[in-house]
Structure 1
């Protein structure tokens, strides 16, 4: 397969609390990179015309043009819905591909499948035995729903997906969508990548 070049931008979500890991997982070394975030960024950059990192604070030394490549969440809350609102307001594109920093094994072919199946939907997300709410394509039209959710103090991405036109795309390999939430997940992902 020839290398795809995706027109829509990519945003790597790297602003979580990492409470289960006990330290900031976005900054953990991974494979040949100094951090999980740098690994995701370098891995995905060749396939997207524009790639951004979303975070609460600037903690990334590897980003060369921070004013262009870094999207800082507004507000104090650690919430993926706040991050989505900030991203959709900041990016000049109708659709954006979202991936979390802690899913470093998602294949480019799978990303292509998600993007190719996203055109008639408000959101298109990956699904294995469970739904991967923050691995997929989100449309700017979701901003009204997101703002209404925040006004009502609702911060669950699953709630958003149930209340918009969402396409759930099935994938069979669980390990591809492993979430690096705890030390065991981190060690497993490092073993799988080596």
Structure 2
């Protein structure tokens, strides 16, 4: 994978952050209804969006949030057109437009930049959470087939690698929040 520039930032001895600025864009999904989190009004995206955006800006030249409307001021958005609240229709729209992408959900705040870079280099998705990872236009046929069927994302990118379970844990409920 070609990188446009390499910058190195060191914050502490224990957490070096490398800025690679990959050319393909990153899309952070923030469009869920959050109903399992308490209510439709308790948008869990508000808890993690800045953290996820800042993390991804260390790695990608272009980072966008994905939702049905612009939720946060002063941040770039990809507005999905589908009326369905599921990641698959948004994935199809994004891949059609951008050809090669990285997808991350806002509710997986524990994923590290190192794991994101590992997924990028392998053109893979996380085996325990295959929403997170690399997708491209060669996968459109599988995406469309799944849109007509079970609406599952698990078999779209067959290149899966293991990422620590804690890193790919979705924060869907208040109990999940306690696991952080």
Flag whether TM exceeds 0.5 (same fold): yes
Pick from 23, 33, 56 the counterpart of residue 68 of structure 2: 56
Indicate conservation of the 8 Å contact 2:82/2:90, yes or no.
no
Indicate conservation of the 8 Å contact 2:130/2:160, yes or no.
no
Aligned length: 161
Q: 1:14 maps to which residue? A: 30
Secondary structure, aligned partner of 2:159: strand
CA RMSD, aligned part only? 1.8
TM-score normalised over the length of structure 1: 0.75
Structure 1 runs of 4+ with >4 Å offset: none
Q: Which has the higher helix share?
A: 1
TM superposition shift of 1:85? 1.0
How far apart, in 2, do the equivalents of 1:153 and 1:43 lie? 34
How far apart, in 2, do the equivalents of 1:169 and 1:13 lie? 21
Q: 2:125 maps to which residue? A: 125
Q: 2:115 maps to which residue? A: 110
TM-score normalised over the length of structure 2: 0.81
Pick from 11, 14, 26 the counterpart of residue 45 of structure 2: 26
How far apart, in 2, do the equivalents of 1:90 and 1:57 lie? 18
Query: Structure 1 residues 72, 86: closer, same or farther in 2, change over 3 A?
Result: same
Gapped regions of structure 1 (runs ≥ 5): 29-35, 64-68, 119-123, 190-194
Indicate conservation of the 8 Å contact 1:38/1:62, yes or no.
no
Indicate conservation of the 8 Å contact 2:22/2:61, yes or no.
yes
TM superposition shift of 1:182? 0.7
Gapped regions of structure 2 (runs ≥ 5): 1-15
How far apart, in 2, do the equivalents of 1:188 and 1:61 lie? 29
Pick from 70, 74, 89 the counterpart of residue 96 of structure 2: 89
